[in-house]
Chain A
Amino acid sequence: MKNKSNWIYFSIGLAIGVIAVYIILSMATTDLAKIKISNKAKPKNKLQVGIHKEVVPLTDKELKEFGIKVKEVGPGTIQLHSELTGEIIPDPTKVARIIPRFAGIVREVRKNIGDHLEKGEVIAVIESNESLVRYEVKSSIAGTIIKIHLTPGEVIVDDKHSVTVADLSSVWANLSIYQKDLLKIKVGQVSIISTIDGSRFSKSNIFYISPIVDEQTRTATARVKLNNSSGIWKPGMFITAKVATTRKTVSMVVNKNAIQIFKGQTVVFVKDKKGFRPQPVSVGFQNNKSVEILDGLHQGQNYISEGAFTIKAELLKESLGGGQEN
């Protein structure tokens, strides 16, 4: 009897205890396990994956604060350029190499390197070996002496002793065209030739493109004639050329920064009643400033020309927090 009641008490006590302790500790463990998922884990403005926001409303104040600019889609022209390098050479048709006609002794040299000559002006006087008669060496063109190998008393026996006169009032620029540009560069295109430092430049048309590609350098040559009355272009000078290749007038053009890749599509953010939304577009012609829009927009539509990235980021915002593991 007594034993039995003892066991009953024991069981009751144990049961109460087990239940009580289990309640406490299960509370404790649940909570302890969850510790540190503090309030910050609660997504506040995060949307669930798959339910995407499509429109970003922005106030004028916000546009200003974030430097976002809106423009109208309109017609425009897009100009493409190729940049080439090259060097200045004298115009070969205006270079005269004057060789004294008879062997003899140089008696007199009237001009020096760099001197300017008129056509027919005497450069030197030579006494012929055969006839012992003095004759004058005259310039066949007007120009500047760029080479002269005549010294008084010198004996001339071959054609090594010559005078080169060049007319540098206009020069040529030889431009190297790499294969990739060959098809784009055409005779007649306007090119802007500038010095390496960019301080001087002049504009001219391509008048010649070599029909073959050099075996060594694998480049073709384009030629531009430059007016050099001021004398800034010196043969041998290294230059760069910007050749205007293709030019197209299109009906819809947008700022290049407006084009964004959003979820694998090329989009422009356009303004509608609720705000800004991505508009898939197909693009055509483009240079580093402007892009032709073939399809997707219409003229007069407002689009974001600067700061489109901010809108894109806003649309992708919900995915930004996705587990930045460190």
Chain B
Amino acid sequence: MKKIIDFVLRNRLLIIILGVFVIAVGYFSYKQLPIDAFPDVSPTLVRVFTTTEGLAPEDVEKYISFPIEVSMNGLPKLRLIRSVSNFGLSVVNIYFEDGTDIYFARQLVNERLQEARKQIPKGFGDPQMGPISSGMGLVFFYYLEDDTGKYSLEELRTIQDWLIKFQLQTVPGVTEVLGIGGWKKQFHVIVDPNALLRYNVTVNDIVNKIRDNNLNVGASYIEKDAEEFLVRSIGLATKLEDLKNIIIKSKDGIPVYLSQLADIKIGGAIRRGVETHNGIGEVVAGMVIKLFGTNSSTVIGKVEKKVAQINKILPNGVKIVPYYEQKALVEAAIKTVSDALLQGIILVIIILILFMGSLRPSIVVALSIPFSIMFAFIGMQYFGISVNLMSFGGLAIAIGMMVDASVVLVENVDRVKRESPHEPFIHVVSRASKEVVKPIIFAIIIIITVFIPLFTLQGVGGKTFKPLAYTITLAMLGSLVFAILIAPVVSSFLMNNTSKKGKSKHQDIWIVRTLQKLYEPVVTYFVKRRAVAIGLAVGMLVIGALIFPQLGSEYTPTLQEGTLVLRLQMAPSISLTESTRLTSIAEKRLMKIPEVTGVVTRIGRGEVGADIDPINSAEMYILLKPKDKWRKGITTQGDLERIIRKDFGEMPGILTNFTQPIEMTVDQLLEGVRAELVIKLFGEDLDKLKSKADEIAVVIRKIKGAADIQVNQVSGKPQLKIVVNRHSIARYGVNLEDVQKVIRTAVGGEVAGQIFEGIRRFDILVRFKPDFRETPEAIKKILIETPSGVKVPLSQLATFEEIVGPRQITREQNQRFITIQSNVIGRDIGSFVAEGQRAIDAQVKLPPGYFVTWGGQFRLQQEANKRFAIVIPVTLLLVFLLLFFSFNSLKNSVLILLNIPLALVGGVVGLWLTGQNLSVPSSVGFIALFGIALENGMVLLTYFNQLLREGLSIDEASIKGAKLRLRPVLMTAVTTALGLIPLLIATGTGSEVQRPLATVVVGGLVTSTILTLLVLPALYKWFAIYVEKEIEE
């Protein structure tokens, strides 16, 4: 290792070039890094959507979801297939193992989709893959504002679908633009059934006639003289008139036109979603979805520019109004951490100058920060980590730690230089560097080692905190490279001339001198009276042990996205009209709240691709005044939530809860139900599933510790079931299909081709007049034509039943299932599960083929614990081995390990004093603390050993060593702590995640520094290596 120093000092120019090179490459890497708000925790997932308007959940499952599922089985790296069959929509989620390339996964799915398509009957929809995006992909939402009031909702939707959508899709990085709200324009042929009777025509005749009379054909070419003429026959309907004049039949030369049989007009397509705003009515809206892996802020920036362009070409009075932009969030999150980063750097530099007493060594140390950060950027580029709250947060946390290695080195150079002012400076640098190079390397490697367990985290926790672990590790590695390669070289250039002033060691910097003066008697006191030192340590431990149980525990603090979404859940049987009415009442209530400037609500779903919400759910985006205009006493998003909840009150028949855009989307993509314990009951029959699930719920509720038990509401969608009687139709000689076709066309409507307006195309929908299809009575009267020409009402051919059917059917592992979720309070979840399993076995009799699986968050926890059971001892052993290699002494290693408990105490006290809870970030803080605490001990102990070898007695070595090493120990501790202060006091977006972490580290540093400075010298005697004649290399 010492050879490295020699090499470095011999090739100083090379090293400088290397340093500049790293910084340059780092800068360019930074420029290319994607910028996001948070780490993307979405799973690797390909979604297959199939829409079949009008098909009930059971049929969607049978005809669409099942064939798709089956065809996906056995794909490589496949983790899970889950399907949801809703009314008119099938969604098959195909989850791949984390880390699978998304394009690879999509390709696999696409190949298999070809097979699946063959299995789906014609006319039952075409399965399509969802956009290439993730839960963070919904970056920009807008609605269309029409000042003139001239444009109908159909016209606005046409503008959205045929103008805005195509323009926005040309923006690089935009993968999809989905429209919702208003009405999709259609040409409606509203058939009058009485007219059919009058002219003796069937509705299917009309559909066929329209199809046959709406075509352009090409007929090759003819030659005329020397020229060639293309031949084309024009017959495409382009306007209402063309449709009206289609001749359906003619009798005695008198034509019967379509217009005699039907009203033909422009209308809206059947819809499963509505967008409303401010309680005043419907709007047309759209959402822009970002391509997977692209830079959010760049994409949004380009979208904004495009929107400005589009606004110019839109009809007068119509404009695009954004109501949600992820950009604001990205900027806020990055601002929070980059502010903290900058403030941290400034604080650290101030400390450096104070302790080093002059600018030059401070510069050397401070240079370590940009170098380490740039080094980390290169690594981020290599590992594909985006700039986000957590990865940048990691850098902010590491600010103080980055300088530690260099502080130790430069401080030693400074000290040696003061001690031997006449030695050639390059020798001073060399000697001083060599003294500390080994402990530096070990200290940094130990810190990095400590972060190993974080890398083994899986799932959401892993995805959230790995970026942080990566950047801290990378930055520490960078600081190590800087300290041993570049710092000696830079100090040999920069620190040389100060020596000419010939300061002696007695002319130390005043602050250090003062501190040493104060410190020396204290440390002497402790060294002399070891019992007191032990008492101090034990006392602190006791305090920690007393406080620890008082700490509350919470899960991760929710990342505040700055956008509030109020989610409404209505009864599953509700109609879209009613849910729109209720939503508008809710909007009116919200508009009365002073902080709210607007509300934009999406009910149900629009074009498929992102949301698959049923019409009983509404998401209300609440637009707020700027923070400074809020009422007094409301400062945080949480306050505002409470106030809004209070002012908003309860709505009868509606469940409300607050969520946030990204949180909501990610939750939807993540698998399953968010509860500690999820019991899945698999089986065939939906009614049996439901009744058995209810039984299980009753059994589970009796078990001690059970709370919040809920059975998934799978049913609740009323159906009008028309069962065609085979005997009746046989009597009339009608085919079943003929009857069903009429039902479908008459009630649901049948698309009979399209009308082209330029390239815009609109469906022609043939359907009965509302009066003749809107009630069960009317449907019963629909006449079916028999081959003999006789017309029979439907009620004579079929039985009608009003039942409550499933609202959605969920499947996993090729089987239907229903979930029972529960939380567990006040007992160990493992024993709860065991007891529950016994109880279900004993008390619930499941039909053959039905089985229960136990899953949920507790499963993840068990898996994590299993993994940690291996990783933790290994990490610990590694740390211990590293310490042992460093000191060649078990006793020394143990002494250093003693730092850990005291550091923990500080962290716990820190949390307690600031009123925070144990949480994931605070746990990460403890892990970081663990590494930092060891570092300080190592710095001190190395020097004690060195003094001991120089022949001092143990007590002398303890006191002198402690006094001389006061500066580096304090400097590393104070820089680390001060580097975190900005995170501690930050209030911006994302600060709530970083604060507990910073609190723990700062608190822990205080106690561990006390231990290092006071207790460690005292205990050294018992842990010292008895001086032997060691052979130095």
Tell me if A23 is interfacial: C-beta within 8 Å of chain B: yes
Among B672, B804, B808, B876, residue most surrounded by chain A Cβ atoms (within 10 Å): B876
Given contacts A12-B894, A32-B461, contact A48 B709 (CB under 8 A): yes
8 Å CB contact of B84 from A16, A218, A326: A326
Across the interface, which residues of B come within 8 angstroms of A312, CB to CB?
571, 653
Are B673 and A323 in contact, CB atoms less than 8 angstroms apart? yes
Tell me if B873 is interfacial: C-beta within 8 Å of chain A: yes
Across the interface, which residues of B come within 8 angstroms of A314, CB to CB?
652-653
Among B650, B652, B673, B675, residue most surrounded by chain A Cβ atoms (within 10 Å): B652
Across the interface, which residues of A come within 8 angstroms of B694, CB to CB?
49
Bound CA span A11–B103, Å? 52
Tell me if A201 is interfacial: C-beta within 8 Å of chain B: no
Tell me if B294 is interfacial: C-beta within 8 Å of chain A: no
Q: Tell me how far the C-beta of A53 lies from the nearest C-beta in chain B, rounded to whole angstroms.
A: 11
Q: Which residue of chain A lies nearest to B553 when distances are taken between CB atoms in the complex?
A: A31
Are B710 and A321 in contact, CB atoms less than 8 angstroms apart? yes
Bound CA span A37–B891, Å? 44
Across the interface, which residues of B come within 8 angstroms of A319, CB to CB?
710, 713
Tell me if A40 is interfacial: C-beta within 8 Å of chain B: yes
Given contacts A9-B894, A49-B697, contact A36 B653 (CB under 8 A): no
Q: Which parts of A6-55 form the interface with B (CB within 8 Å)?
A: 6, 9-10, 12-14, 16-18, 20-41, 43-46, 48-50
Tell me if A199 is interfacial: C-beta within 8 Å of chain B: no
Are B790 and A35 in contact, CB atoms less than 8 angstroms apart? no
Tell me if B522 is interfacial: C-beta within 8 Å of chain A: no
Are B571 and A320 in contact, CB atoms less than 8 angstroms apart? yes
Q: Which one, A58-66, A100-108, A139-147, A222-230, is touching chain B?
A: A58-66
Bound CA span A26–B694, Å? 35
8 Å CB contact of B894 from A10, A44, A50: A10
Bound CA span A30–B862, Å? 9
Bound CA span A94–B876, Å? 113
Q: Which parts of B692-727 form the interface with A (CB within 8 Å)?
A: 694, 697-698, 701, 708-713
Are A18 and B876 in contact, CB atoms less than 8 angstroms apart? yes
Q: Mark B654-698, 1 if CB is under 8 A from A, else 0.
A: 110111000100011010111110000000000000000010011
Are B923 and A27 in contact, CB atoms less than 8 angstroms apart? yes
Bound CA span A260–B861, Å? 45
Are A218 and B792 in contact, CB atoms less than 8 angstroms apart? yes
Across the interface, which residues of B come within 8 angstroms of A251, CB to CB?
none
Tell me if B197 is interfacial: C-beta within 8 Å of chain A: yes
Are A9 and B1023 in contact, CB atoms less than 8 angstroms apart? yes
Tell me if B612 is interfacial: C-beta within 8 Å of chain A: yes
Are A35 and B652 in contact, CB atoms less than 8 angstroms apart? no
Tell me if B865 is interfacial: C-beta within 8 Å of chain A: yes
Q: Which parts of A178-210 form the interface with B (CB within 8 Å)?
A: 178-180, 196
Tell me if A290 is interfacial: C-beta within 8 Å of chain B: no
Given contacts A66-B585, A178-B793, contact A46 B708 (CB under 8 A): yes
Bound CA span A38–B710, Å? 17
Q: Mark B608-647, 1 if CB is under 8 A from A, else 0.
A: 0000110011000000000000000000000000000000
Q: Which parts of A288-326 form the interface with B (CB within 8 Å)?
A: 288, 309-314, 316-317, 319-326
Are B790 and A309 in contact, CB atoms less than 8 angstroms apart? no
Bound CA span A65–B654, Å? 14
Given contacts A9-B890, A14-B880, A312-B653, contact A25 B556 (CB under 8 A): no
Q: Which residue of chain A lies nearest to B883 when distances are taken between CB atoms in the complex?
A: A13
Q: Which residue of chain B lies nearest to A237 when distances are taken between CB atoms in the complex?
A: B198
Are B555 and A34 in contact, CB atoms less than 8 angstroms apart? yes
Q: Which residue of chain B lies nearest to A18 when distances are taken between CB atoms in the complex?
A: B876
Across the interface, which residues of B come within 8 angstroms of A45, CB to CB?
650, 655
Bound CA span A56–B651, Å? 11
Tell me if A136 is interfacial: C-beta within 8 Å of chain B: no
Across the interface, which residues of B come within 8 angstroms of A313, CB to CB?
570-571, 574, 652-654
Given contacts A12-B894, A25-B453, A238-B194, contact A31 B923 (CB under 8 A): yes
Are A35 and B920 in contact, CB atoms less than 8 angstroms apart? yes
Tell me if B819 is interfacial: C-beta within 8 Å of chain A: yes
Across the interface, which residues of A come within 8 angstroms of B569, CB to CB?
320-321, 324
Tell me if A131 is interfacial: C-beta within 8 Å of chain B: no
Across the interface, which residues of A come within 8 angstroms of B795, CB to CB?
180
Tell me if B904 is interfacial: C-beta within 8 Å of chain A: yes
Bound CA span A310–B570, Å? 9
8 Å CB contact of B926 from A27, A33, A320: A27
Across the interface, which residues of A come within 8 angstroms of B556, CB to CB?
31, 35-36, 38
Are B900 and A325 in contact, CB atoms less than 8 angstroms apart? no
Bound CA span A288–B710, Å? 38
Q: Tell me how far the C-beta of A38 lies from the nearest C-beta in chain B, rounded to whole angstroms.
A: 4
Q: Tell me how far the C-beta of B1004 lies from the nearest C-beta in chain A, rounded to whole angstroms.
A: 11
Across the interface, which residues of A come within 8 angstroms of B659, CB to CB?
40
Are B777 and A288 in contact, CB atoms less than 8 angstroms apart? yes
Tell me if A93 is interfacial: C-beta within 8 Å of chain B: no
Tell me if B958 is interfacial: C-beta within 8 Å of chain A: no
Tell me if B854 is interfacial: C-beta within 8 Å of chain A: no
Across the interface, which residues of A come within 8 angstroms of B930, CB to CB?
20-21, 24
Across the interface, which residues of A come within 8 angstroms of B823, CB to CB?
41
Q: Which parts of B558-579 form the interface with A (CB within 8 Å)?
A: 558, 569-572, 574, 578
Q: Tell me how far the C-beta of B468 lies from the nearest C-beta in chain A, rounded to whole angstroms.
A: 13
Bound CA span A312–B924, Å? 48
Are A66 and B804 in contact, CB atoms less than 8 angstroms apart? no
Q: Which parts of B825-861 form the interface with A (CB within 8 Å)?
A: 857-858, 860-861
Tell me if B307 is interfacial: C-beta within 8 Å of chain A: no
Are B655 and A317 in contact, CB atoms less than 8 angstroms apart? yes
Tell me if A79 is interfacial: C-beta within 8 Å of chain B: no
Tell me if A85 is interfacial: C-beta within 8 Å of chain B: yes
Are B880 and A38 in contact, CB atoms less than 8 angstroms apart? no
Tell me if B4 is interfacial: C-beta within 8 Å of chain A: no
Given contacts A12-B894, A316-B571, contact A23 B558 (CB under 8 A): no
Are B819 and A325 in contact, CB atoms less than 8 angstroms apart? yes
Across the interface, which residues of A come within 8 angstroms of B617, CB to CB?
324
Q: Tell me how far the C-beta of B319 lies from the nearest C-beta in chain A, rounded to whole angstroms.
A: 32
Bound CA span A48–B694, Å? 12
Q: Which residue of chain B lies nearest to A42 when distances are taken between CB atoms in the complex?
A: B708
Are B920 and A20 in contact, CB atoms less than 8 angstroms apart? no
Given contacts A36-B556, A37-B675, contact A317 B653 (CB under 8 A): yes
Bound CA span A261–B717, Å? 12
Bound CA span A53–B553, Å? 32
8 Å CB contact of B701 from A28, A30, A32, A48: A48
Across the interface, which residues of A come within 8 angstroms of B20, CB to CB?
none
Are B872 and A16 in contact, CB atoms less than 8 angstroms apart? no
8 Å CB contact of B713 from A21, A24, A26, A323: A323
Across the interface, which residues of A come within 8 angstroms of B613, CB to CB?
326
Tell me if B464 is interfacial: C-beta within 8 Å of chain A: yes
Q: Which residue of chain B lies nearest to A36 when distances are taken between CB atoms in the complex?
A: B460
The 8 closest A-B pairs by CB, nearest first: A313-B653, A33-B861, A13-B894, A28-B923, A32-B461, A313-B571, A323-B712, A314-B652
- A–B pairs, 28, beta carbons within 8 Å: A17-B900, A24-B927, A28-B920, A31-B919, A32-B461, A32-B920, A33-B857, A35-B556, A37-B555, A37-B675, A37-B676, A38-B555, A41-B675, A45-B655, A46-B708, A48-B701, A49-B701, A50-B697, A66-B652, A178-B792, A309-B578, A311-B652, A312-B571, A312-B653, A322-B711, A323-B710, A324-B569, A325-B712
Question: Besides the contacts A38-B555, A323-B821, A325-B672, what 17 more A-B pairs have beta carbons closer than 8 Å?
Answer: A10-B890, A13-B893, A24-B927, A25-B872, A28-B920, A28-B923, A29-B864, A30-B553, A31-B553, A32-B461, A32-B465, A34-B861, A36-B670, A312-B571, A320-B616, A324-B617, A325-B808
B interface residues, Cβ below 8 angstroms from A = 84, 91, 192, 194-195, 197-198, 453, 457, 460-462, 464-465, 553, 555-556, 558, 569-572, 574, 578, 581-582, 585, 612-613, 616-617, 650, 652-655, 657-659, 663, 667-668, 670, 672-676, 694, 697-698, 701, 708-713, 775, 777, 781, 788, 790-793, 795-796, 804, 808, 810, 819, 821, 823, 857-858, 860-861, 864-865, 868, 872-873, 875-876, 879-880, 890-891, 893-894, 897-898, 900-901, 904, 918-920, 923-924, 926-927, 930, 1023
